[in-house]
Amino acid sequence: MAAALPKTYDPAATEARWQRAWEEAGAFHPDPAGPGEPFSVVIPPPNVTGSLHMGHGFETALIDTIVRFQRLQGKNVLCLPGTDHASIAVQTLLEKQLKAQGIPKEELGRDAFLEKAWSWKAESGGTIVGQLRRLGYSVDWQRERFTLDPGLNQAVVEAFLRLHDQGLIYRGEYLVNWCPASGSAVSDLEVEMKELEGHLWHFRYPLTDGPATGGSDHLVVATTRPETMLGDTGVAVHPDDPRYAALVGRTITLPLVGRAIPIVADEHVDPAFGTGCVKVTPAHDPNDFAIGQRHGLPLITVMAKDGTMNAAAGNFAGLDRFEARQAVVAAMEAGGFLVKVEPHRHSVPFSDRGKVPVEPLLSTQWFVRAEPLAARCREALDGGSPRFVPERWEKVYRDWLTDIRDWCISRQLWWGHRIPAWFVVSETGGVITEATPYVVARDAGEAHEKAETAYGEGSRAAGRELQLEQDPDVLDTWFSSGLWPFSTLGWPDPAAADLARWYPTSVLVTGFDIIFFWVARMTMLAGAMEPAGAGQNWMPFADVMIHGLVRDENNRKMSKSAGNGIDPLPLIERYGADALRFALVREVAGAGQDIRLDYDRDRGSSSTVEAARNFANKLWNATRFALMNLGGETPASLGAPDPERLQLADRWILSRLARVSDETAQRYGSYALGEAAKGLYEFAWNEVCDWTIELLKRRLNPRPAAEGEPLSPEALADQRTARQVLAQVLEQLLVLLHPLMPHLSEELWHGLTGAPESTFLALNPWPVPEPGALDAGLEDRFAELIEAIRVVRNLRAVAGLKPSQPAPVLFVTGRADLAATLSEATADITTLTRAESVTVLDPATAAARPAARALAAVSGELQVLLPLEGLVDLDALRARLEKDIAKATKEIQGLGGRLANPNFASKAPPEVVAECRANLAEAETQAALARQRLVDLGG
């Protein structure tokens, strides 16, 4: 760093330079055999669906702050980056692109489609990695992973096999959430309920055998989905409902279809809702499916997988499901079966991705038996593992693991991990049906061996040649993401060094929106795989830090579909990555659910980030000041100051530094990152810049006693002490700030220390405070000095003195210790208040002097006087004293009231009572002194 630094910090070049230097030096590429306690984080892999928004920037800032801190603590830190293939999201996106070009994906074919997907991945993945680099992420890029990498695919296959062998994966025909838009099954979690204004249609279903004795000849059922009536196979009533008791066991004749279907009694029916009769469509509704199971009702599917009606729908075949709804209603009305239509608000399941209503549809899929896996996780949680931060998210996680439903893991998509199951199609006439036997294997060769063993002989006996076909479907993306903490470390290779060294990981940092999708899936799969070996701790992370979601300027959740994502790059370009990181982390202190970033979309500006940029600039200038005042020396060449030579201000800032260093380490270590950032901001700006640097200026630039004379040995020694203190404080401050502002701190640290380019602050040890540096009593004394200086400055402002105009300052106090502090700091007071002279008197001596016409203020037991003959504005003076009196009076009232309460003295802790008494005495003294000043002035 050159001596003549520019006045403002320009982050762009600096940040790029250090990112390159770190990476080229392999600074964040740890050796599993390296020293230090292991600390590891796998980053939540962003989807390769385009680019990152501010939410990712936020998460990155959090994770990087944590891992950089741990590195400074001397740990052997691995932070592993990567991206996720996001099966359904990417496929949807690509299909949309193809559709725009008028190419159906079937025409393109699976292989060509996958080729396109891979090139998309290269592009999007590249963009994302570029963005992460630009933030200064201290991850190990040499260990970057993608969920479809061969190694990770091997993990997926292995996991599938093991789960299948344990009976935890099964295949079968069930009602699943079918997304007609993507043409695939989706899991329960990918379904979002939306409240919609719909209708409740009441249909008359005639009894097949005419009216019961004295009863009606029909039942009335109500439905929100008329088109499904074509698949009705029953009508249900509550078993205790007297209105229909006589009808149970009889049948009705389904209008439009003509099928006779039974009336069954089922507890599920709420007799108070509607007519108390429910049409039962087991193939198109989960509740009806359950009723159907209980009563042995047949399943009739009337809809095809693209959401149109199928042949079973008779005349309605070929119609889209929503067209069919209109048509069925019209037909029912025409047939006199429509009783009435009511407006009805109800929840409709929508597909997260497809943005269309999902269709409960009967289909053959693969499932993971979730309960045994969840049980293991609940048990671990009972033992406190993992530990959630903030704690309350633990309940959310636990609730989901309780009453969990099986997980549908097959997707009718192309982009993803192919299901490692081979159907022995020769057993079922060359086609795959629900009944086709299959083998699960690591590859085609193993599949053939297994099939040969199981079916070879039988086949040949039947004169058939064994014929295998791999399941065309892929696995739910979250199945591979669920293995991420160990698949990335080399599992299932038992000899993987990274796995041995860094599994389980230390902390997972993620948003509350994917606790179920991801966190729970990882713990469940890890519990089944035991990646560290049987009997070893399998829980994939010790801690789970859950953060809030970044909202846009209108307080809405950012999402791709809403198009309201804030791109971090323009903000980084404008303010610097460090400023953005600092701003984001500083906002998170409360760990609330929302992170609001104030952002002016039109101007591309943010006052929050701007404030952080200003802070960066402040640090830049503080270091600039140091470089101009250290006489060409470095912290190392200067060495530690001689304790004998330390002045009050020196001992104060060194004590504060030691305290802040401890506090900050404690905060970083417990994920209180926002508090760490706020604490450092205040310490650096207020205590280091506003007070320490201002106080050191005089000593750093000593004036000779007379013009032209050399500096005294005393002045030179003091100058050295001042340099030592400044250098030490600044160097350590940069270390403390490094996790939050890595580039700036690295740059300034090199400037300050002159360290070679190949040495990094990023790999430096956390500062160990000088023993005995902490001194609480001294900090209190110094706080009084600061207050005294403030009072003087305020008085000068009230008097309307020009800042450059010197004026005499007189302190009067009866407290010997305070008088001593003020006397010791006379030179400092002179500098900071432009004092012409500083005099400290005790009240007796002061009383003996002729009453000066002076501006006066009273703070505690300290009177501050500015004798300003001829200049004094008496009104301003009186006003100031009145203000002091009012303040003291208010305090006397409050404290007096408390002390007057006998219960307070008897029940409150003695130290609180004592403090209260002392404060009261002080306030009374203050009020008395101020009144006396008024009298002295003839007021």
Interactions with RNA, residue window 380-439 (CB under 7 A): 392, 395-396, 399-400
Contact 212, 235 (CB under 8 A): no
Distances (CA, A) of 872 to 800, 809, 876: 10, 14, 8
Instruction: Work out which of 380, 689, 827, 876 binds RNA, going by CB under 7 A.
Output: 689
Mutual angle of helices 607-629 and 742-753, in 10-degree steps: 10
Q: Does 270 bind RNA (CB under 7 A)?
A: yes
Q: How far is the CB of 599 from RNA (least distance, A)?
A: 11
806 touches RNA by CB under 7 A: no
Helix residue ranges, H only, 754-806? 776-799
CB of 231 to RNA, least distance (A): 13
Determine, following the binding rule CB under 7 A, whether residue 622 of this chain makes contact with RNA: yes
Least distance between RNA and beta carbon 760 (Å): 24
Q: Does 355 bind RNA (CB under 7 A)?
A: no
Q: Interface with RNA includes 594 (CB under 7 A)?
A: yes
β-sheet bridge partners, residue 365: 172
Span of 163-171, 647-655, 693-701, 848-856 interacting with RNA by CB under 7 A: 693-701
Instruction: State the Cα–Cα distance between residues 730 and 750, nearest whole angstrom.
Output: 12
Q: DSSP state, 794?
A: H
d(CA 870, CA 380): 80
Residues numbered 665 to 684 that lie near RNA (CB under 7 A) are 675, 678, 682
Q: Is the Cβ of residue 94 or residue 235 nearer to RNA in the bound state?
A: 235
Q: Is-cis flag, bond preceding 81, omega within 30?
A: no
Residue 274 touching RNA (CB under 7 A): yes
CB of 544 to RNA, least distance (A): 15
In the region spanning residues 8 to 47, those forming contacts with RNA, defined by CB under 7 A, are 8-10
Closest CA to 420 of 165, 222, 725, 638: 165
Under the binding rule (CB under 7 A), the answer on residue 618 touching RNA is yes
895 contacts RNA (rule: CB under 7 A): yes
Q: Is 229 within 8 Å of 203 (Cβ atoms)? A: yes
Pick between residue 539 and residue 895 the one whose CB is nearest to RNA: 895
Q: Which residue in 694, 757, 836, 842 binds RNA (CB under 7 A)?
A: 694
Kindly list the distances between the CA atom of residue 248 and the CA atoms of 213, 229, 277, in Å, as whole numbers in the listed order.
Answer: 14, 20, 11
- The residue among 579, 548, 553, 575 whose CA lies nearest residue 566 is 553
Cβ at position 200, least distance to RNA in Å: 7
Per the CB < 8 A criterion, the answer to whether 14 and 34 are in contact is: no
Are 604 and 87 in contact, with CB atoms under 8 Å apart? no
Strand, helix or coil for residue 469: strand
Applying CB under 7 A, does 894 fall inside the site for RNA? yes
Say which residues have a Cβ less than 8 Å from residue 6's Cβ, sequence separation at least 6: none
Question: Is 815 a binder of RNA (CB under 7 A)?
Answer: no
804 lies in the site for RNA, by CB under 7 A:
yes
Q: Is 657 helix (H, G, I), strand (E, B) or coil?
A: helix
How do strand 835-841 and strand 807-813 relate by DSSP bridges? parallel
Which residue, 911, 652, 929, 647, is CA-closest to 778? 652
| 339 binds RNA, rule: CB under 7 A | no
Choosing from 85, 284, 353, 613, the residue that interacts with RNA (CB under 7 A) is 613
How far is it, in rounded angstroms, from Cα 343 to Cα 844? Answer: 90
Between 148 and 792, CB nearer to RNA: 792
Least Cβ distance, residue 607 to RNA (angstroms): 4
Q: Could you count the other beta carbons within 10 Å of the beta carbon of residue 688?
A: 23
Distance CA 243, CA 258 (A): 25
User: Closest CB to RNA among 77 and 693?
Assistant: 693
| 703 interacts with RNA by CB under 7 A | no
User: Is 580 one of the binding residues for RNA (CB under 7 A)?
Assistant: no
- Provide the minimum distance between the beta carbon of 58 and RNA in the complex, in angstroms, as a whole number: 13
Name residues contacting RNA, limited to 159-198 (CB under 7 A): 188-189, 192-193
Verify binding: residue 891, RNA, rule CB under 7 A: yes
Considering only residues 913 to 932 of the shown chain, the ones binding RNA according to CB under 7 A are 915, 919, 923
**Any contact of residue 697 with RNA (CB under 7 A)?**
yes
**Interaction of residue 561 with RNA, rule CB under 7 A:** no
Is 278 among the residues that bind RNA (CB under 7 A)? Answer: yes
Out of 95, 587, 828, 884, point to the residue binding RNA (CB under 7 A).
587
Confirm or reject binding of residue 646 to RNA (CB under 7 A). no
208-237 binders of RNA (CB under 7 A): 221-225
Q: Which residues contact 329 (CB under 8 A, 6 or more apart)?
A: 201, 226, 338, 341
803 binds RNA (CB under 7 A): yes
Which residue lies nearer to RNA by CB, 454 or 689? 689
Q: Is 347 in the site for RNA (CB under 7 A)?
A: yes
Residue 455: which residues within 8 A CB-CB, separation 6 or more?
Answer: 424, 426, 427, 437, 466
Q: CB of residue 8 vs RNA: minimum separation in angstroms? A: 4
Binding letters toward RNA, positions 230-269, x by CB under 7 A: --------------------------------------xx
- Is 596 a binder of RNA (CB under 7 A)? yes
Let me know if 903 is exposed, middle or buried by CB neighbors in 10 A (0-12, 13-18, 19+): exposed
Q: What is the dihedral of CA 908, 910, 912, 917, to 10 degrees?
A: 110
Closest among 384, 379, 385 to 402, alpha carbons compared: 379
Sheet holding 191-206, edge to edge: 218-223, 191-206, 338-351
Do the beta carbons of residue 549 and residue 595 sit within 8 Å?
Answer: yes
The answer to whether 592 contacts RNA (rule: CB under 7 A) is yes
Piece of 156-164, 432-440, 739-747, 790-798 that binds RNA (CB under 7 A): 790-798
Q: Which of 260, 628, 820, 851 binds RNA (CB under 7 A)?
A: 628
Q: Give the one residue of 554, 561, 758, 903 binding RNA; rule: CB under 7 A.
A: 903
Least Å from the CB of residue 708 to RNA: 17
Cis peptide before 390 (omega within 30 of 0): yes
Within residues 493-532, the interface with RNA by CB under 7 A covers 512-513, 516
Piece of the chain touching RNA by CB under 7 A; list 362-370, 595-603, 633-641, 716-724: 595-603
Q: Is 101 in the site for RNA (CB under 7 A)?
A: no
Q: Which stretch binds RNA (CB under 7 A): 110-118, 446-454, 539-547, 890-898?
A: 890-898
Smallest gap from Cβ 730 to RNA, in A, equals 10
Q: Which of residues 294-333 bind RNA (CB under 7 A)?
A: none
Q: What stretch of H or E contains 804? A: none
Q: Does 825 bind RNA (CB under 7 A)?
A: no
Sole binder of RNA in the list 335, 590, 765, 772 (CB under 7 A) = 590
Beta strands 438-440; 421-424: pairing state: antiparallel
* Comparison of 212 and 797: residue with beta carbon closer to RNA: 797
CB of 516 to RNA, least distance (A): 6
Instruction: Please compute, for residue 738, the number of CA atoms within 13 A of its CA located in the half-sphere on the CB side.
Output: 31
> Binding residues for RNA, how many (CB under 7 A)?
90
Say if residues 275 and 202 touch (Cβ distance below 8 Å): yes
Options 73, 794, 831, 932; binder of RNA; rule CB under 7 A: 794
C-alpha of 515 from chain center: 12
Residue 589, interface with RNA (CB under 7 A)? Answer: yes
Q: How far is the CB of 691 from RNA (least distance, A)?
A: 8
Q: Which range touches RNA (CB under 7 A), out of 35-43, 100-108, 375-383, 792-800?
A: 792-800
DSSP states of 66-131: HHHHHHHTT-EEEEE-EEB--HHHHHHHHHHHHHHTT--HHHH-HHHHHHHHHHHHHHHHHHHHHH
Strand order in the sheet with 260-265: 251-253, 260-265, 234-237, 277-280
Asked if residue 614 binds RNA (CB under 7 A), the reply is yes
